[in-house]
A and B are shown apart, each in its own frame.
Chain A
Amino acid sequence: MNEFQGCPGSRTQDFRATATEEEATTGKVKSQLTQWPIQMHLISPTAPYYQGADVLLTADCVGYALGGFHPEYLKGKAIGIACPKLDEGQEEYVEKIKSWLDDARINTLTVLIMQVPCCRGLLALAQEAAQKAGRKVPIKAIVVGLQGEILAEEWV
C-alpha cells in the first residue's frame, strides 16, 4: 500500500477496497452550506452569518475525508476553511479567528483537522488566536482519520 515513506501528510495510500465496502447512501444529500466565501483569506470575520454563530474552522481535506460532513458537522454552523501546510499568510488567519471571538462574538469554535501531523498547525493557529482574544468561548478539536473515522474529540 505505501508506495514511499516520508511525510505522512503526502504519503501515497490506496483505500479503494475499504471505501467501497459499505454501500453508499443513495439519493441527494442536501448541502448545509449557508454562506460564501468560505476560504479563510476570502472571508470577512464580521459577516452577518458569523455573528453569535457556532463556527467550524476546517482543514481543507476534512470535507473530502468525512462522509457525513454536511449533515453531521456543517449543519447549523458557519465555516472557514484553510490548509495549515500549504497556505501562505497564516498570520492573517490568526487575526480573523481572533475577530470571530471578539467582534463577531461567536458562540463556539470547532476545529476539524486531519490526523496528519501538519494539520495540527490549524489547531495551533486557533489556540494562538484564542489566547490573544479578550473573549473566551468553548473550543473543541476533532481529529479525522484518512478514511473519515473520528479519531479524537477534545476540548482545548
Chain B
Amino acid sequence: MTQQLELPMQEYLNKNIKEIIGEFPPVADVLNGYDIGCVTCGLGTCLFKDIVGIHDLDPGEEAALLAGIARVIYPDRAVAIPKIERKSKPKSGEVSYSPPMKKLVDEHRLIKRWVAVIPRFIEGLDVTTEAGRRLIRQGIDFIQSYADKFHHAKEEAILFKCFDEDLDIIRTMCADHENARGRVREMLAALARQDRETIAGNLEAYRELLTEHVKKEDEILYRWMDRNLSMKQVGELFAKFHEKDIEFGDTPQKYQEFITRLENKFNTEEKRK
C-alpha cells in the first residue's frame, strides 16, 4: 500500500520546482515558510529533491516541509514521505565560513555597499556634463572590474570548478552573472548616446538582481559548498584566491575608496536637504 502511494511523491521530487509551483501555486507559500525563495528565482530549474538538500534543513524541518507540500499536492489522502539522500554532512552548530568562502563573503560586503547607494546614484544621474558622465563610467567600471572580473571570475574560474557545473544552482548563479554583464553592455551603449532613462532602468534592474544574488550565495550556496568541500579543496581554493588577489594588486583598495567617496558624497547631500 505504502509502495503504491510513495511513487507519485517520488516523481515530484525529481521535477523542477518552478513546474511544481506552476501546477500547485500554494507550494510557494510552504517554501516561503522555510525561507526558501524559489518563487523569486530567475531560473527555477532546481529539482525539488536538490532544494531540500541544498537548504540543509534539519531532519524535523525537512519532514515538515515535505509533509506540507504533500498536503498541497495530495489534499485528499495521506502519502508516505520519501527519504532524501544527502551527499553533504549534516550541519553542526553555528555556521562559520571556511577562509576562502569568507573571502568571497567579505567581497560581497563592498558589492552590497555599492548596491545600497544605487538609488541615490540614479537620482543624481547626469549625462549632460563630462563630470556626470565620468561618475557614471566609474560606477559601471566598479560593476565590470570589481564585481565581475575580480569577484565573479573567482567563482566561475575557480570555485565552481570544484563542483558539477551543470548543477542548477550553479547554472542559476552563472545566468545572474551573464544578466549583469548584459546590463553593463546596455548601460555603456546608453551612456554613449546620453540616454539617462535606459541607464537608470538598467541600474535599478542590476540592484534588484544583485540583492537577490548575493543573498542566495551568502545564505545558501556558499554554506552548501562549504559542507561539501574537502579540506584539500579548501586549501587549494585559498591559495588560488590569494594568487588572484596578488594579480589584482591594489585594485580592490581603489574600489573600496570609490565606494567610500560615493557614500560620503550622498550622505553630505542628504544632510544638506
Residues on A lying within 8 angstroms of B by beta carbon are 54, 76-77, 106-108, 110, 136-138, 140, 150, 152-155
Task: In the complex, identify which listed stretch (B18-26, B42-50, B92-100) lies at the interface while the others stay far away.
Answer: B92-100
Determine if A108 and B234 form an interchain contact, defined as CB atoms under 8 angstroms apart: yes
Chain B contributes a number of interface residues (CB within 8 A of A) equal to: 16
Q: How many A-B residue pairs have CB under 8 A?
A: 39
Which of the residues A137, A152, A153 comes within 8 Å of B235, measured between beta carbons?
A: A137
Are A108 and B231 neighbours in the complex by a CB distance under 8 Å?
yes
Contacts of A137 on B, CB cut-off 8 Å?
A: 235, 238
CB <8 Å contact, A140 and B231: yes
DSSP majority for the A interface? Answer: strand
- The distance in angstroms between the C-alpha atoms of A155 and B93, with both chains bound, is 13
**Cβ contacts under 8 Å, B7 to chain A:** none
Cα distance A108–B234 in the bound complex, in angstroms: 8
Where the two chains meet, the residues of B that have a C-beta atom closer than 8 Å to any C-beta of A are 92-93, 96-100, 102, 231-232, 234-236, 238-239, 242
Q: Pick the contact of B97: A54, A108, A155 (CB < 8 A).
A: A155
- Bound-state Cα–Cα, A54 to B100, Å: 16
Residue of A77, A106, A108, A153 contacting most chain B CB atoms (<10 Å) = A108
Since A108-B232, A138-B100, A155-B96 are in contact, a sample of 4 more A-B pairs with Cβ atoms closer than 8 Å, ordered by chain A residue number, is A76-B232, A107-B232, A107-B239, A138-B238
Which of B92, B235, B239, B242 is within 8 Å of A54, CB to CB? B235
The 8 nearest A-B residue pairs measured at CB: A107-B235, A108-B235, A138-B99, A108-B231, A138-B234, A138-B238, A54-B231, A54-B232
CA distance A154 to B102 in the complex (A): 13
Query: Which single member of B92, B93, B235 contacts A138 (CB below 8 Å)?
Result: B235
30 example contacts (A-B, Cβ-Cβ < 8 A) are as follows: A54-B231, A54-B232, A76-B232, A77-B231, A106-B235, A107-B232, A107-B236, A107-B239, A108-B231, A108-B232, A108-B234, A108-B238, A110-B231, A136-B99, A136-B238, A136-B242, A138-B98, A138-B99, A138-B234, A138-B238, A140-B231, A150-B92, A152-B92, A152-B93, A153-B92, A154-B96, A155-B96, A155-B97, A155-B98, A155-B102
Q: Please name the residue on chain A nearest to B232 by beta carbon.
A: A54
CA distance A76 to B102 in the complex (A): 25
| Residue among A76, A138, A154 with max Cβ neighbours from chain B (10 Å) | A138
CB distance from A101 to the nearest CB of B (A): 11
Q: Which residue of A lies closest to B101 (CB)?
A: A155
Separation of A54 and B235 alpha carbons in the complex (Å): 8
What is the bound-complex CA distance between A32 and B232, given in angstroms? Answer: 16
Query: B93 to chain A: which residues have CB within 8 Å?
Result: 152
List the A side residues contacting B100 at CB < 8 Å. 138
How far apart sit A138 and B233, CA to CA, in the bound complex (Å)? 11
Q: How far apart are B214's CB and chain A's nearest CB, in angstroms?
A: 21
> Smallest CB-CB separation from A56: which chain B residue?
B231
Residue numbers in A under 8 Å from B99 (CB-CB): 136, 138, 155
Cα–Cα, bound, A137→B238 (Å)? 7
